[in-house]
Structure 1
Amino acid sequence: MKHLKEVDAVTTELREALAGAGVVLPSLRPDPVSIAHRYNPPLVELGRCSMEVARRLTAALTPTRQSRGERP
């Protein structure tokens, strides 16, 4: 039961962090198959997304030139 609460919390944190970066993954959820597994911790299922969402996610994860210390 501990893992179920933990995977729910992690999923919520990730959803909120992505939303803060302008990214919404509609399929983001705890993976039900891994939750049923007794010995391994559950997984977070990121799911599928449109190309636009993939681009936003890439942009959110790619450091900007300025944060890398480069000049524009």
Structure 2
Amino acid sequence: MAGNERARHSIACVEEAEDAVNSLRAALKRSGVTLPSLRLDPASYARDVPCALVELGRCNVDTVRMIAAALPREGQRTS
């Protein structure tokens, strides 16, 4: 990959990851769940051709239970 092509790829990856994080944050919020450390993982930028990873972070047991309750149960269909 040439330098400019790499830069465009990296920017696209970061933008896509930011969109995904924002979508997840909004969906969790609709379910009453907040993950304070939900963010892009800064260490994932250290690669030669960075492509962001998402850090979901640590959360307490109550938050884990809220996430589990917000997800479809086994056998349930999602729209």
Answer yes or no: same fold by TM over 0.5. yes
Q: Report what 2:43 is aligned to.
A: 33
**1:61 offset after TM fit, Å?**
1.2
TM-score computed with the length of structure 1 as normaliser: 0.77
| Root-mean-square deviation (Å) | 2.0
Q: Deviations over 1:31-62 (max 9, x none)?
A: 11113323463211000001110100010114
Give the alignment partner of residue 51 of structure 1, picking from 40, 61, 76: 61
**1:21 offset after TM fit, Å?**
1.1
Aligned residue pairs, count:
67
Percent identity over the alignment? 42
Q: Any unmatched runs of 5+ in structure 1?
A: none
**1:8 offset after TM fit, Å?**
0.9
Q: Which amino acid aligns with 1:7?
A: A
TM-score computed with the length of structure 2 as normaliser: 0.71
Please identify which structure carries the higher helix content. Answer: 2
Q: Distance in 2 between matches of 1:29 and 1:17?
A: 15
Query: How do 1:1-72 residues align onto structure 2 when only pairs under 5 Å count?
Result: 1-39=11-49, 41-63=51-73, 67=76
